[in-house]
Amino acid sequence: MEHILEDVRRDILPGLTHWQSPRFFAFFPMNASSAGLAGEMLSVGLNVVPFVWAASPAAAELESVVVDWMARLFGLPRRFLFYSGGGGVLQGSTCEAVVCTLAAARDRALGRLGGHEAIARLVVYASDQTHATFQKGARLVGIPPSNFRVIRTSAASGYGLTAEAVRAAVDHDVGLGLVPLYLCATVGTTGLGAVDHVRELGEEARRHGMWVHLDAAYAGSAAICPDFQDYLDGAELADSVSMNPHKWFLTNMDCCCLWVARPRDLTSALSTDPEYLKNVGADDDGAGKAPAAIDYKDWQISMTRRFRAIKLWVILRRYGAAGMRAHIRRHVAAAKWFEQRVAADERFEVVVPRRFSLVCFRLAPRSGRDDDATNHVNRDLLAAVNASGRAFMTHFVVDGKFVIRLAVGGASTELQHVMEVWDLLQGKAAEVLQHYVKPNGL
Amino acid sequence: MEHILEDVRRDILPGLTHWQSPRFFAFFPMNASSAGLAGEMLSVGLNVVPFVWAASPAAAELESVVVDWMARLFGLPRRFLFYSGGGGVLQGSTCEAVVCTLAAARDRALGRLGGHEAIARLVVYASDQTHATFQKGARLVGIPPSNFRVIRTSAASGYGLTAEAVRAAVDHDVGLGLVPLYLCATVGTTGLGAVDHVRELGEEARRHGMWVHLDAAYAGSAAICPDFQDYLDGAELADSVSMNPHKWFLTNMDCCCLWVARPRDLTSALSTDPEYLKNVGADDDGAGKAPAAIDYKDWQISMTRRFRAIKLWVILRRYGAAGMRAHIRRHVAAAKWFEQRVAADERFEVVVPRRFSLVCFRLAPRSGRDDDATNHVNRDLLAAVNASGRAFMTHFVVDGKFVIRLAVGGASTELQHVMEVWDLLQGKAAEVLQHYVKPNGL
């Protein structure tokens, strides 16, 4: 093992992108913690497979306890809790959750429409800010790619999807004889951290009998703080909600919480019951089986599954709600500090108002209006920062603007690191601006 | 953390089914190892996300190296290796691999058929021994449930699927105007460890332009021993092959190898390319990107993914091919020992010949023919064994026969444990048979 670890150090580590560096501000950071590692070691060491209840009763039961805890901590409506008839599951990613809920919505609709041929008439709605996984998921479950509507958003709504825009698209489709199936509302989009108007969208979707999924993959973690729960207002109009503890909740990969209001919709689309999986330990009449026994294989794509519940349980026990709130607030405060510096520096501008811990900014156009030169200089600035090896950030493009994203979220990222990256940016900005002054007078 | 671990000991461990016990013979054991744990700790501790190449180059590259190693170790045809134009990916489960390959096959067929409406005409073929995940997967990707053909197998072919049976089903469907899409061939079925005739099925499927998937989830691991590679004969006729190191290859969960002959088929169905995932580090013209850079997000359902390659790499480095062969042979020898004892005891019978490390047996019918009493007594025998807490086994039903499965596969399972379970079975058999003699003269 010593030789192997030496090879890891020499041959593998230098080629990795260091996601756990406090200077990692790219994508959304996937933060980790010692409690998360301990939880994973328990999961990996025990190596049990809670796919049917009998295959590890305590694992299945702990999972239903933990997802209820999470729902309560985030202030989700009661209908998503087990004790109110809803329920949750821990999956590996939002992508899986999306495929499962799309399949549930599809089968519910096909049942109503009375035939599988109707699949070609089903339409899924998202915004141009929605994560690409929804388009991929819709295609995966057999929705015609031409029936995936990407609705434009604009700066006026902070790049949030509006009910008005959805209504126009839906009315058009219904006029063509198509069937509105599924609408995705996002709280904290990947590109800009934008927030869709959940209540407004939920009301609109209900008018058409659409399934509403609320994707809070990144920003959902912020709802551990009561002051961020307003963003989830209207969640009771959703059919399903998902968020990823592995993004911003100190949870090592992988872990995605999916809650549904009517578990039956999900299990109808996903259940299997072959002989070799019949719950042993249960008598023929099910007498040996707990009344609320959950076979989680019917709540997800895969039969096989990891004991993720113990990881999330260890994390919740170790840090508690107060510890988690402090963690979230520390990152939000650092992002806020950075946003203020950007706003106060006339060379820069904040492109969309920050809501959580993501700041989207750029070097402002010298000419007062967008042009290719502005995009070029920002692209060069980002490349210069990343090439320094002292920070890693990624970009986004909105309304033709090349935007630099500073996503604060590393477990070990402190205000000090954000201050250092601001210094770095200022220095690199001076360099690239100097370079650009000459050729085109920017 | 001490309090939390104490709670794990007191409240959680007693409610788990102990998959890592050497006396766990149920389902297929999911074995684990110290190298697997070390590999997972590296993966979980580094917590990198190799979803696009730039997001962790060494992780993406190690993955392509490791899947090529595995293909070579198992004697897979060259077409599944990267250097021959094929390639592999590490996913979480066979279920995911099935969904991905079904989607690839579906989109290839729809492209040929020229319209999405044709989805209602696509047909998927499997046997009554094929894992339930194929039916679930077919439904997930939008194949009409009524277009999933479950072809009967029989004792005559050792419960393997025959080309003759497939031909009859396909001819019938083609006559109805349906389109044969996908055929699953299994080496080592879950219920009985049966083996489909891969070459024969591959030839038949090719005649109809069907995608052939070879599922070797459990038994694939045995192919590390050259003497077991014959079961994969004809694999060059398959479009994709999968096997699960997390079942029998000392790999802690989760890990499924999927190889495809034409990666383009897979990525065409699964790729996404949003702005926020554009490979940073690569120049606009891709000059900074390695020529063979792989964005593994386009090879699977999820965008997010774990660094599974380092786990499998540590395991391969630590145990080597020779160590793995010894591990497989130890289990096969123990299962063979058990099979011989069962065959030599006139009260028992082996229901299907053992091929790997799974023995399917039962108390033989006293009357010389199958009856309900025989099933009852076997059900009671299994319940008595499991209730003893000294072993855990599961059952299967084939041709109306209730069959007990002894699946040898725990990392710490030695011949001695199999000997003990044979003693246990003999004792419990005497008890249940005595009980049954009275009421119905069995």
A11, A43, A47, A249: best to mutate for the B interface, most B CBs within 10 A:
A47
* B282 is a domain residue: yes
Q: What is the pLDDT of residue A281?
A: 43
* B69 is a domain residue: yes
Residues B172 and B98 in one domain: yes
Report residue B252: phi and psi, to 5°. -60, 150
Are A12 and B310 a contacting pair at CB < 8 A?
A: yes
Please state, rounded to an integer, the average pLDDT across all residues of chain B: 94
Choosing from B306, B337, B368, the residue where a domain stops is B306
Are A395 and B135 a contacting pair at CB < 8 A?
A: no
* B314 is a domain residue: no
Number of domains chain A contains:
2
In angstroms, what is the C-alpha Rg of chain A?
A: 23
B246-289 pLDDT tens trace = 999 999 999 999 999 999 999 999 998 766 666 544 444 444 44
B392-432 pLDDT tens trace = 999 999 999 999 999 999 999 999 999 999 999 999 999 99
Choosing from B306, B329, B360, the residue where a domain stops is B306
Question: Is the pLDDT assigned to residue A289 strictly greater than 60?
Answer: no
Are A304 and B253 a contacting pair at CB < 8 A?
A: yes
C-alpha A1: how far from chain center: 36
Are A99 and B27 a contacting pair at CB < 8 A?
A: no
C-beta neighbour count of A330 within 10 angstroms = 15
* B38 is a domain residue: no
* B315 is a domain residue: no
Q: Which amino acid is at A410?
A: G
d(CA A258, CA A76) in angstroms, rounded, equals: 12
Choosing from B273, B306, B339, the residue where a domain stops is B306
- Counting one residue from chain A and one from chain B, the pairs whose CB atoms sit within 8 A come to 281
Burial of B350 (0-12, 13-18, 19+ CB in 10 A): middle
Residues A182 and A277 in one domain: yes
Nearest residue in B to A313, CA atom:
B4
* A337 is a domain residue: yes
Question: Is the pLDDT assigned to residue B186 strictly greater than 70?
Answer: yes
* B40 is a domain residue: no
Residues A6 and A106 in one domain: no
Residues A227 and A109 in one domain: yes
Residues A72 and A24 in one domain: no
Residues B160 and B63 in one domain: yes
| Residue B347: CATH number of its domain | 3.90.1150.170
A78-91 pLDDT tens trace = 999 998 999 999 99
- When pLDDT is cut at 50, 70 and 90, the band that residue A293 belongs to is confident
Residues A187 and A269 in one domain: yes
Question: Is the pLDDT assigned to residue A285 strictly greater than 80?
Answer: no
Are A303 and B93 a contacting pair at CB < 8 A?
A: yes
Residues A293 and A359 in one domain: no
A44, A218, A318: best to mutate for the B interface, most B CBs within 10 A:
A44
A152-169 pLDDT tens trace = 999 999 999 999 999 999
**Chain B residues within 8 A of A395 when measuring between CB atoms:** 275-276, 278, 280
* B330 is a domain residue: yes
Residues A177 and A290 in one domain: yes
Residues B213 and B273 in one domain: yes
- When pLDDT is cut at 50, 70 and 90, the band that residue A272 belongs to is confident
Residues A57 and A193 in one domain: yes
Residues B169 and B198 in one domain: yes
**Chain A residues within 8 A of B405 when measuring between CB atoms:** 276
| Residue A79: CATH number of its domain | 3.40.640.10
A-proximal residues of B, 34-93, CB under 8 Å: 35-38, 40-42, 44-49, 54-59, 61-62, 92-93
Domain that holds residue A108: 48-306
**Chain B residues within 8 A of A15 when measuring between CB atoms:** 56-59, 61
A108-120 pLDDT tens trace = 999 999 889 999 9
- Please give the average per-residue pLDDT across A302-326, as a whole number: 97
